A = this chain, B = another copy of it.
Amino acid sequence: MRRRCLLGAAALAAFAPAVRAQAARFAEEDLRHAEALRAAGLADTEAWRLLEGITTEVGARPAGSAAEARAAQWAVAAFTRLGLSNVRAEAVPLKIWQRGPGSARLVAPAPHPLVMAALGNSVGTPPGGLEAAIAWYPDFAALKADGSDKAKGRIVFIDQKTERTKDGSGYGRAVGARFSGAVEAAKRGAVALAIRSIGTDRDRVAHTGAMGYDISVPRIPAFAVSVPDAELVARLVARGETPRLAVAFETRSDVEATTHNVIAEVPGTDLAHEIVAIGAHLDSWDLGQGAVDDGAGIAIVGAAAAQIARAGRRPRRTIRVVLWGNEENGFDGARAYGDRYGAVPHQLVAESDFGAGRLWRFSSRVQAAALPLADAIGQVLAPLGIERGDNAGGAGPDAALLMRRHKWPAMLLFQDGSNYFDVHHTENDTLEKVDPAPLPQNVAAWAVMAWLAAQSPLPFGPPPL
């Protein structure tokens, strides 16, 4: 306690070189409290209750929809029940994209219905749909390398596979086909883009997700088919066939709507004006229940804040749970949050948005003088089976945007995402897909990280960017 009183933020700035030389340290009692939070987190049952709640009482909650507004109300009620403070939903106007009905089928060499989903932001097909032969590419690189006129007048089909990885790097390598495939296809005269779902499953469900256009080329309809359907197309292509595909779907763009950032706090004490933001995203894609993406994140950060509130010791800085709106298709919530709170000092911004798997690594993005503190957090996390990563870490999608835009320090807790992309952005993203077992470890780690960030004798920023 004495040390904390001596080393307020102003004092720190003056004595920074001396502190650095000594290596900044957490107060022993703050470390002990972190250990107590860790133990309490490992017995958590609230995260599952939250996750079960939002998937059951709300379900799919695409940004700007009535369901997302209900999700915001649900979150306000849940966080209030958990004893958090200053709970509110902040409305954010935005323009949204909406999915209409759609279908796709092979018409030659044999009729086969295909399970499809329009990609987010895609224009629809002409009324009545379109039909064309496929121009098949084994991956996105092959399309980009194609200087021929093979794609002209055809439906480009990118058979990009998604590698199963623990850290999501397989998704990172594959997702370009989804995001930029329509532009590359349109440059080559294609009438539509079809992709193998960006996913690691073998289920008859299609994975949606955001795509983008380029004003320099026509906006062509873009959609994903399920992995088994992509396998079927590949088998036909391997036989030397040129499959013909018919597709019809409707979409709406630029629909005026409102999304929400939901905020709830454990108020700080002497440094209450500084914010430790731990977040997730409120919205989900429209196809599932938003369980792994990102009901799990909502549950984890909400339960972690509740553990801190319940433990009774108030933090120095304010610990703020933030559920950003429209992470999936525009980051409107994160940008609005930055517009509103950009001038408020943030000690940390971090987001849980990679499902509900076991945590295995912890990375940071803090100023050099704060590195011993990040390492000390890592030491409290280590008994949870979490290894210390580097200081060039990210923060989760919304948090990373804010980290870069506002130069806010960040930390990232890495979940095992080996199964995450089996159901990501699909109808299959339902509660049953979540193994409850790793949730308490997640809650424990987030509580430790948030608590110690709030107690730090040093500001974590500015981060190395």
Q: Which residues of A contact B (CB under 8 A)?
A: 52, 55-60, 67, 70, 109-113, 115, 202-205, 227-228, 231-232, 235-236, 239, 288-289, 426-428, 430-433
- Quote the shortest CB–CB distance from A433 to chain B (angstroms): 7
Could you give 13 example pairs across A and B, Cβ below 8 Å? A59-B111, A202-B433, A203-B205, A204-B426, A204-B430, A205-B205, A228-B289, A228-B428, A228-B430, A232-B289, A232-B430, A232-B431, A235-B431
Q: If A204-B426, A288-B204, A426-B204 touch, does A431 touch B110 (CB 8 Å cutoff)?
A: no
CB <8 Å contact, B58 and A110: yes
Q: If A227-B432, A231-B432 touch, does A67 touch B202 (CB 8 Å cutoff)?
A: no
Residues of B within 8 Å of A203, CB to CB, are: 203, 205, 428
Cα-based distance from A57 to B238 in the complex (angstroms) = 12
Cα-based distance from A428 to B228 in the complex (angstroms) = 8
Q: If A110-B70, A228-B432, A432-B231 touch, does A427 touch B204 (CB 8 Å cutoff)?
A: yes
CB <8 Å contact, A432 and B59: no
Residues of B within 8 Å of A426, CB to CB, are: 204
Cα-based distance from A426 to B428 in the complex (angstroms) = 14
Cα-based distance from A370 to B184 in the complex (angstroms) = 69
From B59, B110, B288, B427, A57 is in contact (CB under 8 Å) with B110
Which of A57, A112, A204, A236 has the most chain B CB atoms closer than 10 A to its own CB? A204
Cα-based distance from A58 to B288 in the complex (angstroms) = 30
From B227, B235, B289, A56 is in contact (CB under 8 Å) with B235
Closest Cβ neighbor of A70 among chain B residues: B110
- Quote the shortest CB–CB distance from A184 to chain B (angstroms): 28
